[in-house]
Structure 1
Amino acid sequence: MSLAPRPIWQERFPQACDWDAEIETGTIPGLLAPVVAARPEASAIEFRERLISYGALHELIERLAAGLIVDGVRPGDRVALLLPNTPWHPVAFFAVARCGATVVHLSALDAPRELEHKLKATRPGWLITTNLPGFLPNALTLLEAGLVPRLLIGADERWGQEGEVLALPDQPGAVALDSLLDAPPPAQWPQVLPDDLMLLQFTGGTTGLPKAAMLTHGNLVAAVNIYRLWTDGEPLAPGENRVVAVLPLFHIYALTAALLRHLRDGNLILLRQRFDVEVLIRDIAEKRATVFTGVPTMWFALLNRPGVEQVDFSSLRSCVSGGAPLPFEVQTRLEGILGTRLNNGWGMTETAPAGARVPKMARLRPGLIGVPLPGLAMKIVALGPPRAELAPGEVGEIAIRGPNVFKGYLDDEDATREAFDEGWFLTGDLGRMDEDGLFEIVDRRKNMIISGGFNVYPVAIEGAIYEHPAVREVIVIGIDDAYRGQAAKAFVTLKAGAAAFTLDELQAFLKDRLGRHEMPRALEFRDSLPRSAAGKLLAKVLIAEEREKQAGLASAGPASIDPAA
């Protein structure tokens, strides 16, 4: 009996990892348990100059989980998190997992109407937030609207005062999170299994408006262990690393690649609530951070910081840019300053988000995303049925399968069915594979914009702009943005007799309708917008025009990058 041939990327890049290693799976509570048992005194999190040990973190998780159970949380229930980067996030995330319940991640960038949509879609019984001015008022509004029955408020000052905090409200349904921490542990903790639903993470999927992707305990743990198996050029010994975690933990990229993966290894998480390039430099040059995972916006800010060439980056062992494409020339300049490889890869919310990484021995080129991470398989398939696998060099849709791939979209059987073909997840990304098994992205099948690492959906922006009384028609597309990677541009036609408005005026109108990451950064008025023969507005015509314009600007010479833009 002959064995199946090894994938070509394993033959070409045997040094990247142990390709034959088994991918460990398990549960989120089980992920933390080995480190707590072996090294409870080791520091897990540093936040506002305070250290939290693995033992203390575990104790807080157990206490909150016990309190949640007393408060009525049962296996299968849903608990929403509306939190910034704060120790309350990992405490709440692991506590909900300990209860056998499901986390619903809400974005701190979401406008009120988006939060309302997500709560209606997922119907959580509890919402956990904090008493910071940017969070508590929104959470109270959701409580008052009846969108969540119970609001649990964590005191931000527990972790050291930094800036303004709000008093806890005296309001029915609103409870201080601290009041749950003295509950007795249950006689028996709920049983949690790898196939149990752990996380509802919103994404656009491959088409349409954001949906809740269903990720199990097993999906997340598999993704963590997939990352741990990739050792190519990254000697990250467990327990010996300091990891800058400034990416928002409500995003799947930060959750898995920064928090869960490094807690599993017993490393120290340098948790930061907001990005500040000077703090990042201090964390690297003075606190000797060894790992920094960022998005292009952060790398641009670092690159353009005056005097960056004199900063000591020698402690860094692993630098990763993800969440959005990083221009090739920018990566080259950064590597010269950092003195180390800036790793790129690819993944999606639906893959939790492990997908592909670029091997150290691969020759870099624009669009390259690398080879599948260990335990995963990828291929290029035809765009329409039958989804035949295409030969190297041919452009088609990237398909992927592995133990980290999600189970489907919540309450959307049609979208789930359309997203899979014979067990392969159809990513919606167009790409090709070369003769060495290296994959590259050619384009996105749909017009989703990735701005600063966040998914932005033109249809949602268009819907909000259509509410402006002067707007007749609108098309929103993504354009190149030196700081964010991409940004939204709106093309607008006006109603008869209506006066034009400025971009600032449009942004002010959209302030309560869209999140900051969704705001259009460019505006153009047209007498008419391109249409198909059937009368459908054609975004692709405007996309092509913008590409031609950008190509003309590029040929005229390099532009400066303004990180404050």
Structure 2
Amino acid sequence: MEKKPWHNHYPKQIPTSINYSEKPLHYFLAETAEKNGELKALHFMGKELTYKELFTQARKMASYLQSLGLQKGDKVAIMLPNCPQSVISYYGALMAGGIVVQTNPLYTERELEFQLLDSEAKFIVCLDILLPRVSKVRDRTDVKHTIVTGIKDYLPFPKNLIYPFIQKRQYNMVVKVEQTENQHVWTRIMEQAGTDYVEHDIDPVEDLALLQYTGGTTGNPKGVMLTHYNLVSNVEMCDAWLYKTKAKPQSVLAVLPFFHVYGMTAVMNLSVMNGSKMILMPKFDAQDVLKTIEKERPTLFPGAPTIYIGLLKHPDIKKYDLSSIEACISGSAPLPVEVQEQFEKVTGGRLVEGYGLTESSPVTHANFVWDKRVNGSIGVPWPDTDAKIFKMDGDMEEAAAGEIGELAVKGPQVMKGYWKNPEETDRVLKDGWLFTGDLGYMDEDGYFYVVDRRKDMIIAGGYNIYPREVEEVLYEHEAIQEVVVAGVPDPYRGETVKAYVVLKEGANVTEEELNTFARKHLAAYKVPRIYEFRDELPKTAVGKILRRKLVEEEKEITSV
């Protein structure tokens, strides 16, 4: 790769180009189990598995799936939170020659049915409490076999005995799972299955490892086809970026869900490659996370802005020792500078913003963790990753430094295309470039900035307004916990700027006060004309605020 302006900032420890391993992704688990089998792989509510145990159980899953008839290329849906079974299923499916379809446990029946039908999944692994939902849609899909597990299956004594009572109180259900021809009990598989399975020939560059569905904030989600090589290359880039962590074994706080591509790459796959211990948390609860950090002492904490915000707003955060945290890369949404600075002060570690998308496995850019970083920037492209800003006229003309256009990326982590959707594939992949749909610019030093989604840009009275710029200003107000800005219909300006605000606990501020504050930092046409105070904002499972949902709510109101 030719030298790029951002390469001037690379520290000597990070190569600009890497000789990537052309091997199936699941080989990492086999290699780590062979070299460091006694290292702890998973910690789950007091229960721990070594890499040797993890590998053995993944082999059992591979063997069992093949005994049910899994052929190379068959899809295996995994509908689990972060728990040992999610890691075992993932690697077991890959070992058997399958393609993983990560499925959000929060999906409604309609969403689940769409994904199972679209992916042509033949197998699904799910929690017992999700079985009623799966059973209702299964006969309308290609799914032939359901493997059912429960949280209690990997809890230590006596938690495993107590959990069914907690489950009944929390979910008002206790699901009894019976072994049938098409329904299979996880514990029985682990007790009875062998470890022998047929290793299929995998072409890492061409063969898919994963169908990862995009968020689907507008329209139906699209299945992103990611090959073994896409995923392996992004994990090895991530490893190179975190060069200081190689000196000693790491423990990684696994709060980001593995069914989200960022958690899958930056937590699960990176940990398996390096022999790090994953501290699994099936859901985000600020109190539980703070207790876990103090007790288990994780060193790496990949996350999303809402996770860090949630911890910072906890009234007792100063009572906990968070000093084990060395490095955090924030993804999935823009990281407010104020949040970055506060979190670093509390932990003593480094928190930097990164950037990526499902279609790129997912990471393409990040700030340097221990070297030059620029607040407000998404950083620079990762090794072997090229990036350009193209003018918005659609003629593939590169924009000048500082000029806003659409960000496009190119590299070994970029997807093969969208599953059964050649039209959308052709729309976003052009001459090897993945057009992200994000608007941004590159400065003269090669640092990149994202100002907003192309479809989220507000045009008010002929002016282009970027919501992120307005949000960054409002985040500086001491009373604001979370904020999202969107364009709403306006009969005079076409659109006008509206801010949806969540205040910090105990804080009070009026619309007039926020308006005065915003006018000190923004041009008049960018200042929100409407403020709406809310207790919470709609979010995805990984904590990304759903701006489009708020916009759709506004349209429904105005159309009544």
How high is the TM-score relative to the length of structure 2? 0.79
Task: Find the partner of 2:74 among 69, 74, 77.
Answer: 77
Name 2:506's counterpart in structure 1.
Answer: none
Tell me if structure 1 keeps the 8 A contact 2:62–2:197: no
Task: Find the partner of 2:230 among 210, 219, 230.
Answer: 219
- Letter aligned with residue 339 of structure 1: G
Is structure 2 residue 46 aligned with structure 1 residue 49? yes
The Cα of 1:187 is off from its aligned counterpart by 6.6
Tell me if structure 1 keeps the 8 A contact 2:20–2:232: no
Is structure 2 residue 85 aligned with structure 1 residue 88? yes
Query: Which whole-Å CA distance do the structure 2 matches of 1:62 and 1:81 have between them?
Result: 16
Query: Which whole-Å CA distance do the structure 1 matches of 2:272 and 2:74 have between them?
Result: 25
Query: Which whole-Å CA distance do the structure 2 matches of 1:109 and 1:554 have between them?
Result: 38
Distance change (3 Å), C-alpha of 1:262 and 1:557? farther
- Give the SS at the match of 1:248: coil
Task: Find the partner of 1:552 among 492, 510, 515.
Answer: 515
Name 2:322's counterpart in structure 1.
Answer: 313
Query: Which whole-Å CA distance do the structure 1 matches of 2:217 and 2:430 have between them?
Result: 13
Name 2:301's counterpart in structure 1.
Answer: 292
The C-alpha deviation readout for 1:184-234, integer Å capped at 9, x for no partner, is 455742222212111111115898532000011111111100100114xx6
Name 2:525's counterpart in structure 1.
Answer: none
The Cα of 1:484 is off from its aligned counterpart by 6.1
Gaps of 5+ in 1: 450-476, 492-528, 533-539
Name 2:62's counterpart in structure 1.
Answer: 65
- Letter aligned with residue 104 of structure 2: S
Query: Which whole-Å CA distance do the structure 1 matches of 2:248 and 2:209 have between them?
Result: 26
Name 2:350's counterpart in structure 1.
Answer: 341
Is structure 2 residue 107 aligned with structure 1 residue 110? yes
Tell me if structure 2 keeps the 8 A contact 1:285–1:311: yes
Is structure 2 residue 212 aligned with structure 1 residue 201? yes
Query: Which whole-Å CA distance do the structure 1 matches of 2:146 and 2:485 have between them?
Result: 34
Tell me if structure 1 keeps the 8 A contact 2:406–2:438: yes
Name 2:553's counterpart in structure 1.
Answer: none
Name 2:131's counterpart in structure 1.
Answer: 136
The Cα of 1:270 is off from its aligned counterpart by 0.4
- Give the SS at the match of 1:369: coil
Task: Find the partner of 2:335 among 326, 329, 338.
Answer: 326
- Give the SS at the match of 2:93: helix
Name 1:364's counterpart in structure 2.
Answer: 374
Tell me if structure 2 keeps the 8 A contact 1:26–1:222: no
Distance change (3 Å), C-alpha of 1:49 and 1:556? farther
Task: Find the partner of 1:124 among 107, 121, 125.
Answer: 121
- Letter aligned with residue 20 of structure 2: I
- Letter aligned with residue 233 of structure 2: A
Is structure 2 residue 3 aligned with structure 1 residue 6? yes
Task: Find the partner of 1:159 among 154, 158, 162.
Answer: 154
- The sequence identity of aligned pairs, in percent, is 30
Tell me if structure 2 keeps the 8 A contact 1:196–1:217: yes
Gaps of 5+ in 2: 168-173, 459-466, 502-510, 522-530, 538-560
Distance change (3 Å), C-alpha of 1:309 and 1:543? farther
- Give the SS at the match of 1:236: helix
- Give the SS at the match of 2:275: coil
- Letter aligned with residue 544 of structure 1: V
Task: Find the partner of 2:441 among 432, 435, 441.
Answer: 432
Query: Which whole-Å CA distance do the structure 2 matches of 1:68 and 1:187 have between them?
Result: 9
How many residues align? The count is 484
Tell me if structure 2 keeps the 8 A contact 1:321–1:344: yes
Distance change (3 Å), C-alpha of 1:338 and 1:187? closer
Name 1:464's counterpart in structure 2.
Answer: none
Is structure 2 residue 424 aligned with structure 1 residue 396? no
Name 2:249's counterpart in structure 1.
Answer: 240
Distance change (3 Å), C-alpha of 1:153 and 1:5? closer
The C-alpha deviation readout for 1:48-85, integer Å capped at 9, x for no partner, is 10110000000000011001000011101111111111
- Give the SS at the match of 2:427: helix
- Give the SS at the match of 2:37: coil
- Give the SS at the match of 2:293: helix
Is structure 2 residue 27 aligned with structure 1 residue 30? yes
Tell me if structure 2 keeps the 8 A contact 1:206–1:428: no
- Letter aligned with residue 82 of structure 1: M
Tell me if structure 1 keeps the 8 A contact 2:38–2:52: yes
Moved more, 201-210 or 431-440: 201-210
- Letter aligned with residue 105 of structure 2: A
The Cα of 1:438 is off from its aligned counterpart by 0.1
Name 1:190's counterpart in structure 2.
Answer: 200
Query: Which whole-Å CA distance do the structure 2 matches of 1:224 and 1:93 have between them?
Result: 16
Query: Which whole-Å CA distance do the structure 2 matches of 1:31 and 1:100 have between them?
Result: 15
Name 2:187's counterpart in structure 1.
Answer: 178
Query: Which whole-Å CA distance do the structure 2 matches of 1:158 and 1:246 have between them?
Result: 20
Query: Which whole-Å CA distance do the structure 2 matches of 1:307 and 1:364 have between them?
Result: 30
Is structure 2 residue 240 aligned with structure 1 residue 229? yes
The C-alpha deviation readout for 1:65-124, integer Å capped at 9, x for no partner, is 001000011101111111111111110000110111111111122222111111121111
The C-alpha deviation readout for 1:259-281, integer Å capped at 9, x for no partner, is 11011100110011111222222
Moved more, 353-362 or 11-20: 11-20
The Cα of 1:16 is off from its aligned counterpart by 6.4
Tell me if structure 2 keeps the 8 A contact 1:297–1:485: no
Query: Which whole-Å CA distance do the structure 2 matches of 1:264 and 1:378 have between them?
Result: 27
Tell me if structure 1 keeps the 8 A contact 2:117–2:141: no
Distance change (3 Å), C-alpha of 1:139 and 1:556? same
Alignment of 1:246-285 (within 5 A): 246-285=255-294
Query: Which whole-Å CA distance do the structure 1 matches of 2:427 and 2:106 have between them?
Result: 29
Kindly report the root-mean-square deviation, in angstroms, between the aligned alpha carbons of the 2 structures.
3.2
The C-alpha deviation readout for 1:447-493, integer Å capped at 9, x for no partner, is 499xxxxxxxxxxxxxxxxxxxxxxxxxxx9996966664999x7xx
The Cα of 1:414 is off from its aligned counterpart by 0.7
The Cα of 1:297 is off from its aligned counterpart by 1.7
- Give the SS at the match of 1:279: helix
- Give the SS at the match of 2:234: helix
